[in-house]
């Protein structure tokens, strides 16, 4: 039992020892873990004590990064906003006043928004504060800061005027409290009609006028094709209407009518370029209205709670007045002309028009941007152009000719142009030394004809003959109009003819035969030309006092198309003074005989400078038909050459015998065609020529041309030319002729001229070769010819030769230095002059020629002028023919 107990005790002790050991082990482990935990806790506590500082630093760094990105973003957005503002309001629309100057945009482009101040953004440059106005809306100013409101008004108006094309912004001021004082700086605009003031009580009329302008623009300008003027300008590149800005500065309470009209302007004005800038007048709520408040604590856009802005100071008064004066001066000087190319069709459409029923072409741009067309046809048939010197008459003619020539081919249209004033501007239509091209439509160009009214008369005669030809053709085909004639005779050449006569009053000046016949021909052409496609365009600087025209109401009535340049007089109807207020480069076009209801204002392009016209002419010249010939150019200041005369080049000697009827060419006829004055020398009494006058060079030129043309018709050795020179001044010309005629010529002087007369008179009895006596200053040999050689004196032999010689192929072509001297040589004042069948008068007056040399009484209407002669042939002429002697052959 005891052993059992001891065993149990031992076991218990062993178990307890094991338990104690295990406990001690666990205790030791727990203590180690506790120590580790305490150490970890200490580390954690040490680490935890460091975390707030590190997290705070990271937080601060992160916040700083966010702030930096935000500031950069704000700066970038501010920069973009400033760039956008610069694009929207460039130049004068947003520049600071210190560097501000007008920067006009093209008329078709809207000036954009306008700056009134800046928006302050912390950490960024100020951004311009813009207000939409022109083509965008209206501006209402509110608040108690009156100076701020005035600054906004001045800034908006000056920036708008400086950014738009001069004259494109028109202001109307209504300032009943200060009577226009609020806009005093803009007063210079009034001199150009760009600023008007409405007095107290005139607000209703002002609003009515704005509403009427809006109605007119919607009805006639936009015409349902465009929603707004801005859209029209973007589509066409042209803005036909100005911007109209009404500045309303206070006033009484609006009446019901005024309120209604104001609301209409607000709703519909922006689309039509009509805008309001108001202070003290409330505008209705509308998307087009921008409200700017100027308060003691600052300004805002959009009302009291809108965007805060810092308003710009008002523009310096000197800047305002100087800018307005400059704009007004440019407007008063007139707008620059539009490009000439605006009148021309595309290249592929040139010469595509048909002139059967008329001629239609644009002459310029109308107020609404649409082309103003000119028509010549059955109605209106003819045109009258008037304007003082320097107003662009020549330029208008160039523009009209160019617009027509680009549309109608030479087979559809022909031009005849005559310029009575001095100058060569129209010579470019013909072939010249500087430019070999010519306008294919041009058939005649006459320049410097201010002293050669006969050339204008010749043109009218030519047109009258053409009218008769066309009338005969129309009668043959039983039609009445050109369109009908062209339809039944398509192979005929029936182009429309436009004859332009510049300074036409010169043709009708005076009461002589030329003026009377010219007026009669003009009246006939004006009355009957319309039906046969012949159209007259008469131009003048001033038509006052043209009795030959205005004394014929039937003639004036045919010119239903009137074109009046600035300050033109008596072109339009008596009470139509539209031309008096025209700016430069403009014209009033009226197809209703000048009545005011027919007025159209056209802006004429620049067409008269060399480069502008040359490009078109060269293009049309390259398109010309192969058989096209250059226009006939008649220059009144040029001396023609015999070698260039077509009639001279056509002369030729027969292969055998003598020419049937020799022809002596004396000079160029003042005529449409380049014809020579020809004296036929058949075997008939009186076929002699007398040249009368004291002008040596001209007299020698007539005899020289006659001798050379006669020599061209004879083979060498088949004719005799006896040259007697009795004036030393004529010796060079006579010697030159003698040398060129070579073996066919014989030379005589004062000592031997008597022998020439005796020999020639003696040879009249026997047949022989043609003999031409060329006597230079024959009257100088009166003493020598008074000496008897045989039974007769030299003068008696001369009279016998004059009387009997032509029937025996002996003709005298002699120069007498006066009519009285010739009469003396022929036998005295009572002597007959039948043996002088033809004569050329140089500086001999018509009254000197008398009835013995010229039919009728009193002599011809001939007033001598340099290098001109009056040619009369008893066998051919009823009246004298003005000629131009040919220039020296060498």
As a whole number of angstroms, the distance between CA 228 and CA 267 comes to 13
Positions of the chain with pLDDT lower than 70, given as ranges: 1-2, 67-68, 71-72, 74-79, 81-86, 89, 106-112, 122-124, 180, 334-335, 368, 423, 542-552, 788-791, 851, 889-890
SS3 label, residue 701 = helix
As a whole number of angstroms, the distance between CA 793 and CA 761 comes to 11
As a whole number of angstroms, the distance between CA 881 and CA 890 comes to 26
Count of CB atoms situated within 10 Å of the CB of 4 = 8
Sequence-distant (≥ 6) Cβ neighbours of residue 369 within 8 angstroms:
221, 232, 236, 238, 239, 240
Tokens of 321: 């007045």
Closest CA to 156 of 91, 92, 87: 92
HSE (CB half, 13 Å, CA atoms) of 208?
A: 8
As a whole number of angstroms, the distance between CA 390 and CA 392 comes to 6
How does 553-572 read in b/e, with b if 16+ C-beta sit within 10 Å? eebbebbbbbbbbbebbbbb
Supply the pLDDT for residue 677.
Answer: 94
DSSP 222: I
Sequence-distant (≥ 6) Cβ neighbours of residue 265 within 8 angstroms:
207, 210, 211, 214, 246, 274, 276
DSSP 492: S
> CA 222 → CA 239, 244, 264, 366, 857, distances in Å?
11, 16, 18, 14, 71
As a whole number of angstroms, the distance between CA 174 and CA 261 comes to 15
SS3 content of the chain, % helix, strand, coil (to 5): 45, 20, 35
Is residue 737 a contact partner of residue 774, using CB atoms and an 8 Å limit? Answer: yes
Per-residue pLDDT reduced to its tens digit, 86-127: 677 688 778 888 888 888 876 555 666 888 888 877 666 777
Helix 513-528 to helix 453-476 angle, to the nearest 10 degrees? 30
pTM score over 0.75? no
Beta-bridged to residue 602, according to DSSP, are 587
Q: Give the Cα-Cα-Cα angle 492, 497, 501 (nearest 5 degrees).
A: 160
**What is the arrangement of strands in the sheet containing 127-131, beginning at the earlier edge strand?**
127-131, 114-119, 307-311, 298-301, 289-295, 138-142, 274-279, 243-249, 169-174, 195-198
Supply the pLDDT for residue 126.
Answer: 77
Supply the pLDDT for residue 889.
Answer: 61
Beta-bridged to residue 129, according to DSSP, are 117
> CA 706 → CA 51, 402, 691, 712, 814, distances in Å?
130, 42, 11, 10, 11
Tokens of 651: 């002369």
Tell the residue number behind the tokens 């307005």, with chain if given. Answer: 324
As a whole number of angstroms, the distance between CA 516 and CA 453 comes to 12
Supply the pLDDT for residue 506.
Answer: 83
DSSP 589: E
Supply the pLDDT for residue 547.
Answer: 46
As a whole number of angstroms, the distance between CA 165 and CA 92 comes to 12
The C-alpha R_g of the chain, in whole angstroms, comes to: 49
Is residue 579 a contact partner of residue 567, using CB atoms and an 8 Å limit? Answer: yes
Supply the pLDDT for residue 890.
Answer: 56
How does 139-169 read in b/e, with b if 16+ C-beta sit within 10 Å? bbbbbebeebbbbbbbbbbbbbbbbbbbbbb
Q: Which helix (H) or strand (E) holds 582?
A: none
> CA 832 → CA 26, 152, 684, 686, 861, distances in Å?
179, 99, 17, 11, 22
DSSP 339: B
Supply the pLDDT for residue 389.
Answer: 84
Tokens of 312: 């710009």
Q: Give the Cα-Cα-Cα angle 268, 269, 271 (nearest 5 degrees).
A: 80
As a whole number of angstroms, the distance between CA 744 and CA 766 comes to 19
Closest CA to 384 of 560, 522, 551: 560
Supply the pLDDT for residue 350.
Answer: 93
Supply the pLDDT for residue 813.
Answer: 96
Is residue 319 a contact partner of residue 100, using CB atoms and an 8 Å limit? Answer: yes
Q: Which helix (H) or strand (E) holds 642?
A: none
DSSP 218: I
SS3 label, residue 50 = helix
Supply the pLDDT for residue 472.
Answer: 93
């Amino acid at each position: 039992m005891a052993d059992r107990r001891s065993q149990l005790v031992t076991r218990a002790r062993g178990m307890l020892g094991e338990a104690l050991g295990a406990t001690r082990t666990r205790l030791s482990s727990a203590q180690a873990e506790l120590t580790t935990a305490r150490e970890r806790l200490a580390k954690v506590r040490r680490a935890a004590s460091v975390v707030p500082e590190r997290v705070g630093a990271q937080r601060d760094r992160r916040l700083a990064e966010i702030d930096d990105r935000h500031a950069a973003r704000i700066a970038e957005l501010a920069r973009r906003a400033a760039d956008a503002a610069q694009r929207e309001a460039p130049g004068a629309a947003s520049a600071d006043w210190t560097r501000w100057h007008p920067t006009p945009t093209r008329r078709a482009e809207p000036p954009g928004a306008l700056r009134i101040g800046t928006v302050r953004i912390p950490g960024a440059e100020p951004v311009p504060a813009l207000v939409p106005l022109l083509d965008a809306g209206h501006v209402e100013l509110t608040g108690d800061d009156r100076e701020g409101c005035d600054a906004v008004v001045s800034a908006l108006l000056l920036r708008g005027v400086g950014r738009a094309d001069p004259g494109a912004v028109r202001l109307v001021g209504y300032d009943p409290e200060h009577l226009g004082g609020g806009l005093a700086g803009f007063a210079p605009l009034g001199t150009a009609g760009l600023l008007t003031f409405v007095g107290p009580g005139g607000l209703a009329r002002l609003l009515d006028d704005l509403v009427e302008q809006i109605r007119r623009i919607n009805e006639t300008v936009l015409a349902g094709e465009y929603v707004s003027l801005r859209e029209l300008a973007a589509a066409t590149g042209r803005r036909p209407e100005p911007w109209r800005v009404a500045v309303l500065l206070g006033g009484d309470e609006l009446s019901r009518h005024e309120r209604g009209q104001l609301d209409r302007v607000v709703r519909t004005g922006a689309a039509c370029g009509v805008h309001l800038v108001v202070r003290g007048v409330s505008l209705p709520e509308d998307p087009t209205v921008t409200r700017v408040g100027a308060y003691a604590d600052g300004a805002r856009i959009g009302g009291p709670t809108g965007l805060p802005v810092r308003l710009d100071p008002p523009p310096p008064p000197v800047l305002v007045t100087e800018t307005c004066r400059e704009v007004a001066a440019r407007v008063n000087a007139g707008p620059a002309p539009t490009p000439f190319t605006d009148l021309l069709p595309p290249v592929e459409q040139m010469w595509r028009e048909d002139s059967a029923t008329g001629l239609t072409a644009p002459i310029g741009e109308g107020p609404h941007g649409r082309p103003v067309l000119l028509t010549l046809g059955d109605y209106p048939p003819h045109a009258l152009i008037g304007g003082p010197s320097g107003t662009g008459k020549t330029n208008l003619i160039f523009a009209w000719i160019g617009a027509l020539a680009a549309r109608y081919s030479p087979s559809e249209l022909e031009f005849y142009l005559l310029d009575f004033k001095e100058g060569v501007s129209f010579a470019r239509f013909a072939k010249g030394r500087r430019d070999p091209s010519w306008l294919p439509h041009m058939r005649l160009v006459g320049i410097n004809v201010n002293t050669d009214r006969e050339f204008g008369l010749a043109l009218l005669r030519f047109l009258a003959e053409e009218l008769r030809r066309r009338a005969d053709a129309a009668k043959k085909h039983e039609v009445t109009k050109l369109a009908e004639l062209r339809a039944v005779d398509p192979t005929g050449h029936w182009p429309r003819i436009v004859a332009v006569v510049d300074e036409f009053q010169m043709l009708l000046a005076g009461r002589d035969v030329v003026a009377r016949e010219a007026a009669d021909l003009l009246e006939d052409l004006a009355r009957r030309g319309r039906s046969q496609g012949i159209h007259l365009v008469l131009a003048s600087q001033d038509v006052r006092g043209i009795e030959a025209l205005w004394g014929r109401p039937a003639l004036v009535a045919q010119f239903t198309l009137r074109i009046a340049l600035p300050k033109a007089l008596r072109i339009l109807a008596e009470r139509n003074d539209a031309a008096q207020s025209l700016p430069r480069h403009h014209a009033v076009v009226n197809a209703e005989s000048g009545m005011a209801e027919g007025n159209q204002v056209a802006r004429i392009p620049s067409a008269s400078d060399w480069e502008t016209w040359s490009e078109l002419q060269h293009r049309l010249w390259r398109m010309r038909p192969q058989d096209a010939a250059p226009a006939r150019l008649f220059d009144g200041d040029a001396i023609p050459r015999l070698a260039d005369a077509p009639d001279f080049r056509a002369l030729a000697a027969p292969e055998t015998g003598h020419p049937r009827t020799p022809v002596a060419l004396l000079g160029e006829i003042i005529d449409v065609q380049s014809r020579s004055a020809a004296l036929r020398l058949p075997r008939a009494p009186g076929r002699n020529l007398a040249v009368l006058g004291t002008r040596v060079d001209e007299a020698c030129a007539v005899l020289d041309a006659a001798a050379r043309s006669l020599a061209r018709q004879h083979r060498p050795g088949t004719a005799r030319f006896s040259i007697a020179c009795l004036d030393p001044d004529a010796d060079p010309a006579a010697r030159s002729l003698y040398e060129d005629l070579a073996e066919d010529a014989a030379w005589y002087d004062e000592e031997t001229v008597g022998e020439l007369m005796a020999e020639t008179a003696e040879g009249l009895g026997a047949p022989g070769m043609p003999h031409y006596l060329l006597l230079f200053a024959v009257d100088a040999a009166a003493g020598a010819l008074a000496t008897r050689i045989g039974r007769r004196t030299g003068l008696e032999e001369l009279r016998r030769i004059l009387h009997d010689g032509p029937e025996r192929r002996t003709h005298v072509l002699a120069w007498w230095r006066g009519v009285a001297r010739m009469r003396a040589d022929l036998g005295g004042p009572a002597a007959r002059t039948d043996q002088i069948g033809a004569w050329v008068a140089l500086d001999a007056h018509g009254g000197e020629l008398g009835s013995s040399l010229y039919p009728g009484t009193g002599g011809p209407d001939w007033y001598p002028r340099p290098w001109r002669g009056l040619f009369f042939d008893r066998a051919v002429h009823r009246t004298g023919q003005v000629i131009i002697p040919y220039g020296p052959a060498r």
